[in-house]
């Protein structure tokens, strides 16, 4: 007797192949039958007439590292059909830490990852074991964050690493890979990663290559210097042998958008040169990150406390204001997008809650202040823990990237009281707007970009496809109604059309009702065949 049989649906297996009409039989967490008619009885039979049956969606860029342990908050991801998430993004995450660096990272990440109190872990192994004991709604994998490793070796200092420090960082990353990490991440606009050199990245990535891990990176620049930043990543990949994945591929600012097709052509050439390269992208023309990312890198030297001290110095404020106007050596959000396009999305204090959803220009007009002073004062009042949404580009550009065979859907979702709508709507938006309404991708292509392609990136042996012997992470949705409900004004609205979600063979969402069964697993590096371990 089977646990679940799904009948009469349009089965799209995640490989990119055309749909077919077969029944899906599930038992003991796995897909055991795919055939025209399954006669065997089951505890639960799902009639999927006129519905699509697909693998569960794999989100390759999230910031659920802490809040995945809180089902009431985290459920919005499952309601989109997301059954697996890749944690540890942008080189700034929660493990590994030491007794000395834990408090620093808890403070630094509060606005990005939320706050669950003290962290009971230090190593990556301890963190993943903590997740194994948590009521996870979906599966998770973890990237080793560059910033955490760097602070363990050399603190939060603005300086280049010495040779012995680079080697020590590589060894720490290798240890963390052995403990379960599936790759390495860096965000080269965020401190302390921004202080690193290309040589440092190459040395660390040699250790990642040893375990066939991927290097997932927010590049050093996504605007006027994006081509130089991209070439740096190609150099890292070539000299270390690492598999390269670019986070949220975009070109910031309308004045720079002519670089987008050039970048896509260069990516194809890199593939020809032997670099295994992919990228993820969210289907919106606005970004979201921590608000202090608007500041020049030197302001972050020493961490949050030092940053706030500098913002209280009148002379330092004037220097930063001048850099907002003309410094093109860092990712200058103010220069590229303007204060009118930088919106406060989440704060911690009641006093500043009325500013959520307003641009810095709107807030400064209300307060009768200069926009830069408004920004500095908000950061001081909130102790740096603010999120922002930045409107950066045009839809036709993301459509060009979406058509690329190297494209993967990733939400870059951040929780908050008024977050970017990509938290709630990314995958249904692709299926509704870009498949059904605009016909940019076929349904088979879009699902491949959400399932089979990310599974290949993460080297999952038995997930990402509907295939006999694979784990039963499955979504049943209505292709005629699926769409995002979230908007920038109402960003927490749930999507429509996602009817049933199965994680590891258990129904966890049934006709839109969340069952809170907590059936997710930690998918660690041991899913990768040990035969893939390379020698240096």
Q: Same domain, yes or no, for 439 and 510?
A: no
In terms of domains, do 64 and 127 share one? yes
Domain stops at, among 356, 391, 426 = 391
Residue 71 lies inside a defined structural domain of this protein: yes
How far is the C-alpha of 311 from the C-alpha of 128, rounded, in Å?
A: 37
In this structure, the answer to whether residues 135 and 244 fall within a common structural domain is yes
61 and 50 together in one domain:
no
Query: Both tokens of residue 454?
Result: 């990310």
- CA dihedral of residues 158, 164, 170, 174 (deg, nearest 10): -140
Q: Are 130 and 120 in contact (CB under 8 A)?
A: yes
Q: Residue 293: what pLDDT?
A: 93
Task: Residue 264: give its domain's CATH number.
Answer: 3.20.20.140
The pLDDT, as a whole number, for residue 363 is 97
Do 202 and 316 lie in one domain? The reply is no
Would you state the pLDDT for residue 527? 53
pTM given for the model: 0.92
pLDDT digits (tens, 9 = 90+) for 266-275: 999 999 999 9
Question: What was the pLDDT predicted at 303?
Answer: 87
Question: What is the per-residue pLDDT for 536?
Answer: 32
Which of 371, 391, 411 lies at the terminal end of a domain, its last residue?
A: 391
Q: Are residues 183 and 276 in the same domain?
A: yes
Measuring CA to CA, which residue among 378, 373, 385, 384 is closest to residue 317? 373
Cis peptide leading into 154, omega within 30 of 0? Answer: no
Is residue 35 located within the same domain as residue 111? no
Q: How many domains does the chain have?
A: 3
Q: Looking at the structure, do residues 493 and 482 belong to the same domain, yes or no?
A: no
Any domain includes 329: yes
Low-confidence ranges of the chain (pLDDT < 50): 528-536
Establish if 201 belongs to a structural domain.
yes
Residues 253, 375 within the same domain: no
pLDDT on residue 530: 36
Look at strands 474-477 and 387-391 and give their pairing: unpaired
Is residue 526 a part of any domain in this protein? no
Please tell me the predicted confidence (pLDDT) of residue 531: 32
Both 463 and 503 in a single domain? no
**β-strands 82-87, 139-145: how paired?**
parallel
CB 242 within 8 A of CB 201: no
Inside any domain, residue 533: no
Domain range spanning residue 84?
A: 57-285+393-488
């Amino acid at each position: 007797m089977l646990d679940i049989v799904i009948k009469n649906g349009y089965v799209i297996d995640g490989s990119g192949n055309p749909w077919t009409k077969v029944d899906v039989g599930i038992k003991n967490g796995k897909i055991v039958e795919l055939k025209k008619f399954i006669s065997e009885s089951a505890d639960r039979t799902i009639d999927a007439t006129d519905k699509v049956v697909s693998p569960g969606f794999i989100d390759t860029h999230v910031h659920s590292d802490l809040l995945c342990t809180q089902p009431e908050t985290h459920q919005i991801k499952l309601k989109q059909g997301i059954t697996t998430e890749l944690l540890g993004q942008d080189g700034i995450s929660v493990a590994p830490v030491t007794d000395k660096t834990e408090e620093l990272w808890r403070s630094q990440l509060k606005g990005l990852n939320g706050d669950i109190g003290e962290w009971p872990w230090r190593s990556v192994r301890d963190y993943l074991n903590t997740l194994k004991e948590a009521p996870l709604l979906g599966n998770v994998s973890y990237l080793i964050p560059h910033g955490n490793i760097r602070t363990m070796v050399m603190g939060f200092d603005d300086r280049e690493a010495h040779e012995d420090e680079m080697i020590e960082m590589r060894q720490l990353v290798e240890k963390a890979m052995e403990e379960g990490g599936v790759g390495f991440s860096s965000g080269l606009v965020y401190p302390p990663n921004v202080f690193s050199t290309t040589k440092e990245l190459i040395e660390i990535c040699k250790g990642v290559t040893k375990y066939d891990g991927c290097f997932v990176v927010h590049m050093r620049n996504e605007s006027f210097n994006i081509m130089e930043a991209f070439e740096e990543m190609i150099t890292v990949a070539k000299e270390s042998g690492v598999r390269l994945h670019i986070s949220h591929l975009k070109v910031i600012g309308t004045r720079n958008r002519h670089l987008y097709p050039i970048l896509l052509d260069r990516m194809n050439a890199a593939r020809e040169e032997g670099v295994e390269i992919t990228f993820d992208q969210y289907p919106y023309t606005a970004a979201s990150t921590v608000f202090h990312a608007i500041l020049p890198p030197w302001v972050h030297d020493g961490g949050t406390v030092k940053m706030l001290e500098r913002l209280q110095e009148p002379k330092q404020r004037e220097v930063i204001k001048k850099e907002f106007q003309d410094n093109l050596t860092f990712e200058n959000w103010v220069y590229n997008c303007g204060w009118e396009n930088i919106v406060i999305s989440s704060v911690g204090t009641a006093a500043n809650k009325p500013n959520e959803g307003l641009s810095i220009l709107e807030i400064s007009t209300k307060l009768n202040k200069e926009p830069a002073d408004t920004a500095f004062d908000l950061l001081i009042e909130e102790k740096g823990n603010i999120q922002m949404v930045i409107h950066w580009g045009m839809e036709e550009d993301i459509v060009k990237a979406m058509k690329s065979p190297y494209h993967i859907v990733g939400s870059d979702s951040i929780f908050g009281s008024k977050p970017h709508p990509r938290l709630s709507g990314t995958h249904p938006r692709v299926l509704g707007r870009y498949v059904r309404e605009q016909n940019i991708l076929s349904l088979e292509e879009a699902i491949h970009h959400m399932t089979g392609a990310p599974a290949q990136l993460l080297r999952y042996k038995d997930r990402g496809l509907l295939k006999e012997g694979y784990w039963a992470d499955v979504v049943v949705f209505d292709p005629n109604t699926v769409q995002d409900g979230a908007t920038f004004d109402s960003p927490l609205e749930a999507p429509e059309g996602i009817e049933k979600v199965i994680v590891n063979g258990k129904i966890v969402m049934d006709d839109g009702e969340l069952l809170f069964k907590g059936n997710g697993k930690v998918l660690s590096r041991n899913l990768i065949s040990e035969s893939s371990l390379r020698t240096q």
